[in-house]
Amino acid sequence: MCIRDRACAGQASWHEFAAAALELAHAAGLLPRVTPPAAIARLSQALAAALAAPKTLERMRELGVEPAPPELASPAGFAAFLREEYERSREAVRLADLKKE
């Protein structure tokens, strides 16, 4: 899905400019290391509640940010999203024959 940033309305999107076959996504999330599962569950619930608050949603949308859909907002969903993005990016690098310099 391509969503044009209002601040860049007069510029070509990445898709239009160079990469019709490549989809780029961005995400932000918490990646706690060595954290007990119970603590991760509580943190996830608290974060979901905060992100569902009307004032938070309003402010995020003012900033051009859309919260993740529910299937990606859980720890397992976000981990699956990251794995999928990693594999897709790795394949794009391979197809473009990009090399480390």
Neighbours of 97 (CB within 10 A): 6
In whole angstroms, give the CA distance from residue 49 to residue 33: 22
Are 81 and 27 in contact by the 8 Å Cβ rule? The answer is: yes
Contact present, 32 and 43 (Cβ < 8 Å):
yes
- pLDDT grade for 95, boundaries at 50, 70 and 90: confident
Q: Report pLDDT digits (tens) over 21-79.
A: 566 667 788 887 888 999 999 998 998 899 889 999 999 889 888 888 888 888 889 88
Helix (H, G, I), strand (E, B) or coil at 67: coil
CA angle 17, 84, 6 (to 5 degrees): 35
pLDDT value of position 1: 45
Q: Read off the DSSP letter of residue 10.
A: T
d(CA 66, CA 11): 21
Helix, strand or coil for residue 76? Answer: helix
pLDDT of residue 66: 82
